[in-house]
Structure 1
Amino acid sequence: MLQRPTASPARTALAGAIAMAAAMGFGRFVFTPILPGMVAGVPLSASQAGWIAAANFAGYLAGAILASFGWGAGRERRIGLLALLVSSLALAAMGVTDDVSLLALVRFVAGLASAFAMIFVTAVVSGQAQASGDRTVMPIHFGGVGMGIALSSLIVYLLATLDGGGARAWRADWLACAAVTLAMLAAVARLLPAPVANTAVSPPEPSIAWTRPLSLLTLSYGLFGFGYVITATFIVTMARMGDAGPAIEFLTWFVTGLTAAVSILAWAPQARRAGLRSTYPLALVLQTVGVLASIALPASLAPLVGGALLGATFMVVTAHGLQIGQMIAPESSRRVLAAMTAAFGVGQIVGPLVGGWAADLTGSFALASLLGAGALALATLAVLSVRDSLP
């Protein structure tokens, strides 16, 4: 039996949005706008940058798996706040070392923390949203990811403007972002309500029935993880390599964040009108176009268009893919969620490794981006082949 919510929907949504901005927009994705400075200042090769990024995604996958065992029931708020603290400390730690192995280790810890924060804070927010019946809470909550991306890019740009972008400026970027997320943690601690108690005991789920539609959807989801993450990791570095200028570098990730922040709400009419089985592949197609645009258009436009289409689609594909999977096998919904998250996580880990290797091999990110676009195209074809069998 559910208890009455202990906070207004607006307060809960704001707390969730700030937490997602801190844990995901900063803790997980700020590596992208800081990376060009690290490549020049540490220095890093593209392959080394790929290893550091992959370590973060490996940590995120490990955190998602660890969080799925149910040990945090009833302690979601406390764990979520602790994870936000660890995420902030990991940001600070990135600014005090230039050893590649340590940087990778810190990003692994940051990935664990961001996964815990996302899962446990979302559990609190979604419980309150369900209890209140307010449908605006969750889109605002997840919109915080995009707002965090946009804010982090603004901070990196302003610091570069103030200090002239010296060789060690990237250290100040990490430390400043750590300070901002600590302030966000204080706000979340004040605003986030206690979890809504649920005394119902969930029965054990049966094993997943791996039908052809579910198997191909899971394959598609893993290919999406590979395809999107190459652009999501390296797009600002691509703008730097193309001499697009500091303003374009800033706007690339800023626009990505703004479009991500409104993407779930913006795609809602399409999802209601055409259904998830049409919306999911359409978003994949647009994301493929964005990846290709990031290498095909002139240097002043390529990262902006690529970033805008990335932001407009990656959260939509992420959310809708999982929804479709759970609709295909509702009797094993938690197992499906775990299996698809694992496939996505493997794609995210492999993507930066392959992308960095390809960039070092060729001297540009054109081949890496083509590989990413190819993976997204295959992801689209996989799901379209069973579209008529999807719910």
Structure 2
Amino acid sequence: MDSTFVRVRRAPILESLAGALILAVGMGFGRFSFTGMYPIMVKEAVMTVSVGSLAASANYAGYLLGALAMSWVGERHSARLSKIAIAGTVVCLAALAFHPSVSMLVATRFVAGVMSAVSLVAASVWLLHVMGHHHGAPILYAGVGAGIAISAEFVVFGQAGGLGSSTLWLLLAAASAALCALAWPKIAPPSAPYEAPAHHAQHARRPGSTIAPWLLVAMYGLAGFGYIVTATYLPLLIKTALPQVNAVQVWAAFGLAAVPSCFAWHALHERLGSRAAIVANLVLQAIGVVLPALAHTPLAFFGSAVLVGGTFVGTVTIIMPAAKHVAHAVRFNLMATLTAAYGLGQIVGPLLSDRLVAHTHSFDQPLVAAGIALVAAVSLCAVRRSA
């Protein structure tokens, strides 16, 4: 039998699902469950809004550091690092159940940020490079939205059962540990690399479709700045403006919208190419970001959750495979550099938001600034075309 046929006959679907579980734990639970828990912990006086913002900033800083560290790590370590990242995430979630001091809270969220970045880069490198499964991207990145939605629903049901924040964190840790157990057996180097049929990469060869590496980095950094205000403060904004609305349920809609969007954006990427797909993605995301600044209504907040949730992981689904096609043009780890740029944007976003809110006592200006950053990222598509 032809050895080439043996190599291409089975796409690693189970491995793709394992990758999705890595991101569900490392990103959905480890990074974004704090967003849903934020207003609950403030209400219980476990922490103040300012301490929560400090913890969020520490998480973003950890994310940046983790991404930078991953730029020095070879592909052969990606499977092992994926396991370390999700195990570390479970520990960080459990640690928050014991009402840590401010310094311990900040340190825990910092470590959780490192674990999130490691999980994203390691899982991406493992599935897209080591396993060679480019078409696993939508399944992989759908894990982020699934993790957000699942963790949010655990919080909602826990609250309905009268559980406090301490017990909720233990519940989240237990749920993430269960997901780790499901993923663990499949996280390993391949016995033989999967090689997609040639026509699967046609979008990368379409004239003018690919984007130069440094343009990808700049666009991705602006995208990190653009979505983070919504992703950090949406439940808190809803709780403040519309106390009658269940903010965590709206946050769950944010995650649910992300799951199918990965497949939609991947299909659009395949059909139109990287450049057109990322323009459409970031324009819709910008509209979603600024909606709550235009109207403080339930529909505006829900629309923001669906539009931003339905595009921010789509950005990753487009950018990471696009980076794979131009990674040969640079000598550094492009995926890790992209993740670091995204992390830097996420640090700048809340810092600028704090300054603007201090002057205006409103999140309208931070949301508008985030929308402008996304439009700026779109404009980079017209700067120049890669060869």
TM-score w.r.t. the length of structure 2 is 0.84
Relative to structure 1, the CA distance from residue 363 to residue 95 in structure 2 (aligned partners, 3 Å threshold; closer, same or farther) is: farther
For 1:88-237, list aligned pairs within 5 A.
Answer: 88-126=90-128, 129-130=131-132, 136-163=135-162, 169-190=164-185, 192-196=186-190, 215-237=214-236
Aligned to 1:78: 80
Matches of 1:326 and 1:124, distance apart in 2: 12
Aligned to 1:207: none
Matches of 1:220 and 1:12, distance apart in 2: 29
Listed one character per residue, the Cα deviations across residues 46-80 of structure 1 (whole Å, up to 9, x for unaligned) are: 44322211211211121122122235x54433332
- Say if 2:61 is the partner of 1:58: yes
Relative to structure 1, the CA distance from residue 340 to residue 229 in structure 2 (aligned partners, 3 Å threshold; closer, same or farther) is: same
Aligned to 2:314: 316
For 1:256-295, list aligned pairs within 5 A.
Answer: 256-295=254-293
Matches of 2:83 and 2:219, distance apart in 1: 33
8 Å contact from structure 1 (residues 54, 350) kept in 2: no
Matches of 1:214 and 1:78, distance apart in 2: 27
**Unmatched 5+ stretches in structure 2:** 194-210
| Shift, 1:117, TM fit | 2.5
Secondary structure of 1:257 counterpart: helix
**Unmatched 5+ stretches in structure 1:** 200-211
Report how many residues are paired: 366
Aligned to 2:24: 21
Aligned to 2:385: 389
Listed one character per residue, the Cα deviations across residues 130-158 of structure 1 (whole Å, up to 9, x for unaligned) are: 3xx6x653321221111111001101111
Matches of 1:215 and 1:141, distance apart in 2: 24
Matches of 1:334 and 1:319, distance apart in 2: 21
Stretches of 4+ aligned residues off by more than 6 angstroms: 1-5
Matches of 2:146 and 2:95, distance apart in 1: 23
Matches of 1:311 and 1:260, distance apart in 2: 5
Relative to structure 1, the CA distance from residue 82 to residue 222 in structure 2 (aligned partners, 3 Å threshold; closer, same or farther) is: closer
For 1:366-385, list aligned pairs within 5 A.
Answer: 366-381=364-379, 383-385=380-382
Relative to structure 1, the CA distance from residue 10 to residue 179 in structure 2 (aligned partners, 3 Å threshold; closer, same or farther) is: same
Relative to structure 1, the CA distance from residue 49 to residue 331 in structure 2 (aligned partners, 3 Å threshold; closer, same or farther) is: same
Aligned to 2:206: none
8 Å contact from structure 2 (residues 288, 308) kept in 1: yes
Q: What letter is aligned with 1:20?
A: L
TM-score w.r.t. the length of structure 1 is 0.83
Identity of aligned residues (%): 32
Matches of 1:321 and 1:127, distance apart in 2: 14
8 Å contact from structure 1 (residues 244, 300) kept in 2: no
Matches of 2:244 and 2:112, distance apart in 1: 30
Aligned to 1:38: 41
Name whichever of 303-312 and 264-273 sits farther off. Answer: 264-273
Matches of 2:19 and 2:248, distance apart in 1: 26
Relative to structure 1, the CA distance from residue 354 to residue 184 in structure 2 (aligned partners, 3 Å threshold; closer, same or farther) is: same
Listed one character per residue, the Cα deviations across residues 213-255 of structure 1 (whole Å, up to 9, x for unaligned) are: 65555333222211111111111111111125353x1332211
8 Å contact from structure 1 (residues 256, 312) kept in 2: yes
Relative to structure 1, the CA distance from residue 246 to residue 359 in structure 2 (aligned partners, 3 Å threshold; closer, same or farther) is: same
| Shift, 1:328, TM fit | 5.7
Secondary structure of 2:221 counterpart: helix
8 Å contact from structure 1 (residues 45, 360) kept in 2: no
Aligned to 1:348: 346
8 Å contact from structure 2 (residues 224, 342) kept in 1: yes
Relative to structure 1, the CA distance from residue 23 to residue 215 in structure 2 (aligned partners, 3 Å threshold; closer, same or farther) is: closer
Q: What letter is aligned with 1:256?
A: F
Aligned to 1:203: none
Root-mean-square deviation (CA, aligned residues, Å) is 3.0
8 Å contact from structure 1 (residues 4, 196) kept in 2: no
8 Å contact from structure 2 (residues 28, 147) kept in 1: yes
Relative to structure 1, the CA distance from residue 329 to residue 139 in structure 2 (aligned partners, 3 Å threshold; closer, same or farther) is: closer
